Structure 1
Amino acid sequence: MLANQIKEYANIQKEALTGRELEASVLTRAAQMLKHCQDNWNAPDREKKLQEALKFNQKIWSFFQAELSVPDNPLPKKLREDILSLSLFVDKRIFEIIAFPESEKLTIVIDINMNIAAGLRTGPGDDI
């Protein structure tokens, strides 16, 4: 019963979030998944958790790449290009971690996700 209530709450929360808030939430979740792996690097289920976290991050950044590649995307061209460039860096780092896993390599992806999420939570014209 409680699991159904939690699931229902999560669905309502998703519906209430704006696009920017949802993107920030997803990036934060992705960063937290990676951070959990980093903090528990010697855990027996690390390989499974790491693969899940990396796959989740890949999906997010692939989505961003697809959205930013759409010709009528409303973001300024320079910003789109910069985020696409960043997404290529994240892709490269994820593949590097898959091939040669090291906990330190997660830090940059965690930081990027958290910084982008923070920027998304700051509305245009908000004081930083």
Structure 2
Amino acid sequence: MNTAANAYARTARSALSPREAESALLLKAAQRLISAEHGLASGEVRSLNEALSFNQRIWTLLSSEATADENPLPADVKQGVARLGVFVLRSCVDTMIEPTSEKIATLVSINNQLAAGLQGNPG
């Protein structure tokens, strides 16, 4: 089992609801991106690439779970999650290739916004 799935499993076993667990993982990924960005100015890209890979694994898991046939979400919500997932995954790769603070900020914002929505705090 990969690191993201292990983290997801550990979080899911706690007293958190699935939505709270997903929110916590998104916030963790956002924090890792923020922390890794600080090393970017000094040319440290390894921690950024690790944070981006973690974010990719989280989004792969979230997207596949949200769009699964057995998931009861409405079709338009599934489609929206799938599109957002594709955007995030592409953005992660693009940021690995050519990292900028703006690209990292976009990924952090998406994670934070979705986490807030999962917690029932839109916006």
Relative to the length of structure 2, the TM-score reads 0.82
2:12–2:21 Cα contact (<8 Å) kept: no
CA distance in 1, matches of 2:17, 2:80: 23
Q: CA deviation at 1:68?
A: 2.3
CA 1:94–1:68: 2 relative to 1, 3 Å: same
CA distance in 2, matches of 1:47, 1:79: 35
Residue in structure 2 matched with residue 117 of structure 1 by the alignment: 115
The alignment's C-alpha RMSD in Å is: 2.2
Q: Secondary structure at the match of 2:70?
A: coil
CA distance in 2, matches of 1:51, 1:67: 24
Deviations 1:4-52 (A, max 9, x none): xxxxxxx6895111100010000000001111122342246x3121011
After the TM superposition, which residues 1-128 of structure 1 pair with which residues of structure 2 at under 5 Å, given as runs?
14-43=13-42, 46-122=44-120
Q: May I ask how many residue pairs the two structures share in their alignment?
A: 114
Q: Secondary structure at the match of 2:40?
A: coil
Runs of 5+ unmatched residues, structure 1: 1-10
Residue in structure 1 matched with residue 3 of structure 2 by the alignment: none
Residue in structure 1 matched with residue 6 of structure 2 by the alignment: none
1:14–1:22 Cα contact (<8 Å) kept: no
CA distance in 2, matches of 1:76, 1:69: 10
- Structure number with greater Rg is 1
2:22–2:118 Cα contact (<8 Å) kept: yes
Residue in structure 1 matched with residue 5 of structure 2 by the alignment: none
CA 1:68–1:13: 2 relative to 1, 3 Å: closer
Letter in 1 for 2:89: D
Give the percent of matched residue pairs that are identical in Structure 1 and Structure 2: 32
CA distance in 2, matches of 1:48, 1:14: 30
Residue in structure 2 matched with residue 5 of structure 1 by the alignment: none
